[in-house]
Amino acid sequence: MKKVWAILLSSLMALTLTACGNSGGTPAPTQGTDGGSSTPCTANGEITLDSINEYLNTSADMGEGSMANVVAVVPISHINGPREESDFYAFVNFKYKARNYVKYQITYLSCTCRSADVNYWMTAYVELTLPESKKLDDAQVRFLSFDRDNGDKYTAGFWGDSNPTPAGATYDMFKAEYIPFFIDKDYAYIKTLSTVDDIAAEDYTAGEGRESLTLDTFTGSSVSSNNIIRMLNALMEYHGTDEYFSAE
């Protein structure tokens, strides 16, 4: 998946140089003959994430109303073990709008401490609600998984980080203790989180069967736990671009 997206973005950059025009040139047309975008350029010859995403969903047989689901490139703020921040991109591989929620697959880079030949990416399967208020702050995490989907019928996610982490935390521990914490959390709360340090102990242990849990379990595995938070924030922001929230 990482290689495919790298090739795709390289191709888009090449198109930018040839189709968006050089300095002083006239921008190329942005509409194809079928009404879709023929280049990833805006009308004034610039290239933006919005124009790239429009191009991806209109220039091929992908996107709403086609055989393949909507895809998108979204910005994500990555954080590593030493708490160094980096501006990365994540890739929404799948979007499907149900009656009152949206299904997503999102692929992102989490662990960067391993050598390049095993720097595998994570793919999360996430369901986010479409609240009756039509306010993004009220949107909740309905489901979150790095393996099976909500019906336990298909494998929709992939845990690309170390299992176990160097500190000994396994994926099963994340799945049993950490990931369930985010279920039913709304964006108003999630956007207040940057790292695990922002989660209050009393919030983390709230709920049936969570009384004995502690975030200390994942102290030495902060890259995985922190970037799950970063991924949810990035996906929520993209979720907010859906026309459902246009009235905000």
Domain boundaries, the chain: 1-68, 69-245
210-226 residues labelled b (16+ CB within 10 A) or e (exposed): eeebebebbeebbbbbb
Distance, CA of 124 to CA of 160 (rounded, Å) = 10
Distance, CA of 118 to CA of 66 (rounded, Å) = 34
| pLDDT value, residue 9 | 56
Distance, CA of 62 to CA of 51 (rounded, Å) = 15
**List of residues 6+ apart from 5 with CB closer than 8 A:** 91, 107
Task: Summarize pLDDT for 192-209 with one digit per residue, the tens.
Answer: 999 999 999 999 999 999
Task: Summarize pLDDT for 144-184 with one digit per residue, the tens.
Answer: 999 999 999 999 999 999 999 999 999 999 999 999 999 99
Distance, CA of 145 to CA of 40 (rounded, Å) = 32
Determine the distance from the C-alpha atom of residue 33 to the mean position of all C-alpha atoms in its chain, rounded to a whole number.
32
Distance, CA of 133 to CA of 242 (rounded, Å) = 14
